[in-house]
Amino acid sequence: MKLFYDFHIHSCLSPCGDEESTPNNIVNMALIKGLNVIALSDHNTGKNCPAAIAVGKKNGLVVLPAMELTTSEDIHVLCLFERYEDLQKLEERLQKTRFRIKNKPEIFGRQRILNENDEVIGEEEDLLIVSSGISVEEVAALVEGFGGIAVPAHVDKAANSVIAVLGAFDYGLGFKLVECAHETDVNLPRIVDSDAHYLWDISEAEHSIEAETCSAHGVFAALKKLCGD
């Protein structure tokens, strides 16, 4: 079946994410847009994923747990998972390597953790948008080892993309899929996402993936297939 997706959406936990981008608002906006599946991908954390997954379950939207990891070179890598437990393992690893700089909410924005009723259950104190200690050379194998898929994010952008930072696409890094809004010279399968930081930026039902079932398992299997696994 054909499933419309947007695998790169930020919530209010990302300092740069809008305060209105709560789990319920994101899921409802995705449904209004006609999407079947989304991934919630905050900077260097997956802590709003449980709420978004629960809201998605209630409302008939598949939500994949994800994060947008910042490598030590300041490259953004979208890390997609089928299971939240696996994403948590990546987050634990990342926590150990991350630079600890206190967030200044008045400058960078708040980093709120919400439950499935959009109630604030915590606030991340360390700034989430700083580089981790995980290098671009190790990230693909590391994420795959935890059961996920590492996708270089927005490779066509001038900031924080693998091409912008390294100067060219290095196939030796082990990536099997790229995220890019436009046609690219990179010779790998491509996904197109919104990288929405505001609700209205979430994708329309334009980009689809062919999956066996409309479930996290079905979508993840489809992504693995796209990767050639």
Residues that bind Zn ion (CB under 5 A): 68, 76, 153, 195
CB of 117 to Zn ion, least distance (A): 25
CB of 179 to Zn ion, least distance (A): 9
CB of 91 to Zn ion, least distance (A): 16
**CA distance readout (Å), 125 to 68, 78, 82, 92, 133:** 18, 22, 27, 16, 18
3-state secondary structure 55-79: HHHHHCCEEEEEEEEECCCCCEEEE
By C-beta, is 91 or 195 nearer to Zn ion? Answer: 195
| Distance in angstroms (rounded) separating the CA atoms of residues 138 and 116 | 34
By C-beta, is 103 or 161 nearer to Zn ion? Answer: 161
Residue in the shown chain whose Cβ atom is closest to Zn ion: 76
CB of 93 to Zn ion, least distance (A): 20
Strand partners of residue 42 = 45, 67
By C-beta, is 15 or 218 nearer to Zn ion? Answer: 15
Q: Is the dihedral of CA 74, 16, 143, 183 positive or negative?
A: negative
By C-beta, is 79 or 153 nearer to Zn ion? Answer: 153
